[in-house]
Structures are given as C-alpha cells and as structure tokens.
Structure 1
Amino acid sequence: MDLATLIGLISGFLFIIIGVSTGSGNVMSFLHPASILIVLGGTIAATFVSFPIKKVLSTFKVVKNVFVNKTFSPNEIIQQIIRLANVARKEGLLALEEAAEDIDDEFLKKGILLIVDGTDPELVRNILETELAFLEERHSQGQGIFEAMGTYSPAFGMIGTLIGLISMLRDISDTSSIGPNMSTALITTFYGTLFANLIFLPISNKLKGKSKEEIILKELMVEGLLSIQAGENPRIIEEKLKTFLAPDVRKTLNNEPEREEA
C-alpha cells in the first residue's frame, strides 16, 4: 500500500473540511450534488470524446497502481544479474536458460533467452529498447488521460458557474436570492479546481514517477544483460550497474554480493 497517496488524499480533504468549518462553520453548505454532477460528468464525457474508449477504460483500471506500492528493489535486481553473470562465466551462456526459469520478471527473462539463442548484442539491445519505448508510451497514455482530466475539470467548473449565474440573473428582481444563487454558482468552480488539483493531476504525476522508476530499472537490466553477454567480470558489472542509482541508494546495496572470480 502506498501510504503517501493515502496520506495526501486524506489530509487534503481533511484540511479543506477544517478550513471550511473554521471559516463558515457550515460544511454541509458546500455539498452540492448538481455541481459535482456537472464537474465529474462533464470531465468524464470530455475524456471519452478525447481518447478511445478502450484506452480510457484500461486507464481507469490502472488507478490501483497509485495506491499500491509496487516496490522495485535495485538491490535484488543487481544481485540477480550478478548471479546470472557468475553462472555464465562458470558454465557458459547456455546455462542461463535453466537459470531463467526461476526469474519472475518477464522482461529480464526475455533478455536472457535472447542471449541464450546467440542473438547479436546490438540486436538484443534494439529489441529490449524497443520494448522499453513502447512500455513508456503505454504508460504515458494513462498519464496523459489523467492530465487531460485535470485540465477539463476546472473548465467544467466554470461552465457550472455560468449556469448558476444565468439562473441568478433570471431572478435578479428578487434581491434576497442573489446571495444564495451566487454562492451556488461559485461552488461548481470550487469542485472543478478541487478535483483537478487534489485528484486528477496528482494521480498523473504519481503515475509518471512510478513509470520513470520502472523504466530506469529495466534500462539497468538491459545494461546488465549486455555485460553478461560480453563476458565481463561480475565485479565490473556490479560497479557499472550502480551508476544507474542515486548515491544514497548505492549505500543500501549489499557490500558483499554473491560474486565469483573466473
């Protein structure tokens, strides 16, 4: 579970509720179903107009990734690559086929099988980098959809405000209704801004961050696989792979990885 997402959402709504109750003392006056319907309904409708229905529906399914802390352990990946390097140096590249059966990551397993098949190193790099490019493209589609929703939401908030102002002007002769009608009109803008800046845009940014983290680690795998294919020393491979990581992350790596000298 990604606690940062939960803490952000809960604290965001909590602070707004506290601010509203402190200022006006009436939180219920900010609950306006018609305004919520205009903002959310209009935003979702515009999203379906802008993107293919399959992409929109599949994007909504990946929202769970925002709340799930899918941990990518650089330490485990590097150690796994070092173990594979030791197997390759001791028993040859063909022995990696058996070692690949215990690997859960499909991307890493695919790279190993390409090496075992005797694929040219440049072709191995091209195949894996092409897969990475399409993976990043698929991720960017989901991020773009939520970013678009963050753009549409305030716009529909303004549309709701205009609807409220039109209704107010129709009854402008009744001065007692101007205040309540104006308040109702502005609430729609409030919801549009709230949904955009607390839900849609933060989700887009969270997906971007998780995608970058995954892409970097897969690039690390590519470099490690090519180094194994080139027959490099496991110690050199480890030092090369560490360059992909931030200095503070490098310190957490095991100081005595499983290595063997040829």
Structure 2
Amino acid sequence: MRKTDILTPIGITLGFIMIMLAILSKGGTEGVSSFLDVASIFVVIGGLTASLLINFKMEQIKLTGNVIKETFHKNDQRMTELVEKFIHLAERARRQGILALENEMDEVDDEFLKKGILLAVDGIEPEVISDIMNAEITAMEERHYRGRAILEKAGEYAPAWGMIGTLVGLVLMLNSLTDPATLGPNMAVALLTTLYGTVLANLVFIPMKNKLEQKTEEEMFIRQIIIEGVIGVQSGQNPRILEEKLRAFLSNETAKEPNEDTKMTGEHVNET
C-alpha cells in the first residue's frame, strides 16, 4: 500500500521558510525584493534544463515528473506482516500441498511475491526461482538508478549554472567600473545565481535523489526476504523454522516475538 511521505514536503518547505526568515531578519520585507532577479532565474533554470536535455534521452526526461512524485510516496508494507504471511503460506502448503497456494493469490497484493509463489506452484527448481527473482531485482535496481540519475545530475548542474551566472554578472559589473555606485548592487545580483543553484541542489535535487536511493535499498531488502520465504515454503520448511529464519532479517525495532497463536501453530506443526 502506498501512502504519502509527508517528510519530503515538510523538509522542502521548512528549508525555504528558514531562508526567508534569514532574509527578513536582516532586511525586512524590503530585503526580499533584493533576492529576486529574473535574469538569474533564467540562467539557472534555463541552463539546467539545457544540460539535462543534452545529457538524457527524451524518454527519460518525460519520466522526470513521475520520478519526483516517488519522493512524495512511501511503501507501507511492514516486514513483520510479510513474515506472518509466509508463515500462513507455509502452514497451508504443509497441510494441503504446494498447489493449494494458487488459491491464495487473489489475496496477495505484492506482484513480486505473487510471481514467486506461482513459480513455486509450477514446480520450478529453487535455484531457478532464485535466479529469476534475483534477475528481476537487478532489473528493478537499474530502472530506479536511471530514474534518480536525472535528479543526481540536476544536483550537479544547478550549482555549476549558478556559478556561470555569477561569472556573467561579474563581467557585466567590471564593464561598468566607471560608475562606482553600481558596483555593490551589481555584485549582489551576480551572486544571486550561485544562491539559486546551490539552494536547488542542496534542498531539492540531492535530498530527493538520496531518498529514492534509500527507497530502492529498502525494496531490494524486502524482495530478498520474499525470495527466502518463497524457497522456504516450496521446500516444505516447518513454519516455525521459516519464521525464525525470516525474522533474522528484521532489525530489533521491527522484529517482535511471535504471538501465542503463532507459537501454538508452530507446536501443532511440530507434533504433526
């Protein structure tokens, strides 16, 4: 289940609020206008867009919106619930046979888990199942990498274009040295492009890229648990043993002691 990740919008909003408070604390409302310059915005945004168009294919550029939206969502799949699902599947497989699991597929939302169980039901060898599912993990990792590469490059190019804008402003400023009164204001405008590029990189693009990278690592970890669970169910492992094996993947914060029903079920299976 996908839910909104409120930390992303909160973090971005908080960052801009802190910058605005810093501006207002020194220059008041009148100081805000000194931090706005249309030409600087054109240089940073226009240059950044041009660099991304050169660096990536149009198919990747079109996916930028979807990639950014991913940073505002999170996967609410709990690993403890995943372990409990495998315990249930293992118990049914031992009682009714592996083919009985096909009837469970309507209740499975995770397509990766469903694919693994169907491979097991079809009687595919465990080594082959592991190879197929690991290949899908590798393909997923590559897709995710290509998606966040746009944000990664944007984080690199934004400060660079900010510096280019600053250099352009300095050249224009040096051409007007005959009027000393304009040096201060012209210097301030020249530095604005560096400010814009640095803020975009460090408050938006790089944090978003890092969040997507963490999401990929979490998804890969969960899928490794699924592979172990599928192979355990197919091999007919005791549900209690499979539970202990899968719980070894969980951290101290997410792992929890089996409830009484699970303990009783495990004892019942041992007796049978």
TM norm structure 1: 0.95
Match of 2:107 among 94, 98, 102: 102
1:131 Cα shift? 0.1
1:78-112 CA-to-partner distances (Å, cap 9, x unmatched) read 11111111111111011111112221111111111
Match of 1:9 among 2, 9, 12: 12
1:32-57 CA-to-partner distances (Å, cap 9, x unmatched) read 12212211221122112112121222
Aligned partner of 1:150 in structure 2 is: 155
Runs of 4+ with >3 A deviation: 256-260
1:24 Cα shift? 2.9
Task: For 1:33-182, list aligned pairs within 5 A.
Answer: 33-182=38-187
Aligned mates of 2:62, 2:78 — CA distance in 1:
30
Look up the equivalent residue of 1:9 and give its one-letter code: I
1:59 Cα shift? 3.3
Match of 2:241 among 230, 236, 244: 236
1:22 Cα shift? 1.3
Task: For 1:158-237, list aligned pairs within 5 A.
Answer: 158-237=163-242
1:128 Cα shift? 0.2
1:194 Cα shift? 0.4
Aligned mates of 2:90, 2:105 — CA distance in 1:
12
Look up the equivalent residue of 1:74 and give its one-letter code: M
Look up the equivalent residue of 1:223 and give its one-letter code: E
SS of equivalent residue, structure 2 residue 77: coil
Tell whether the 8 Å contact from 1:136 to 1:211 is kept in structure 2 after alignment: yes
Structure 2 residue runs of 5 or longer lacking an equivalent are none
Instruction: Note the aligned Cα RMSD (angstroms).
Output: 1.4
1:194-240 CA-to-partner distances (Å, cap 9, x unmatched) read 00000000000111111111111111000000011111011111111
Structure 1 residue runs of 5 or longer lacking an equivalent are none
Once the two structures are overlaid, the 10-residue window that deviates more, 113-122 or 29-38, is 29-38
Call closer, same or farther: CA 1:214–1:256 in 2, change over 3 Å.
Answer: farther
1:254 Cα shift? 5.4
TM norm structure 2: 0.92
Look up the equivalent residue of 1:255 and give its one-letter code: N
Aligned partner of 2:259 in structure 1 is: 255
Aligned mates of 2:163, 2:60 — CA distance in 1:
27
1:23 Cα shift? 2.5
Look up the equivalent residue of 1:235 and give its one-letter code: R
Aligned mates of 2:110, 2:221 — CA distance in 1:
15
Call closer, same or farther: CA 1:257–1:227 in 2, change over 3 Å.
Answer: farther
Once the two structures are overlaid, the 10-residue window that deviates more, 147-156 or 32-41, is 32-41
Call closer, same or farther: CA 1:124–1:49 in 2, change over 3 Å.
Answer: same
- Number of corresponding residues: 261
Look up the equivalent residue of 2:21 and give its one-letter code: I
1:257 Cα shift? 5.7
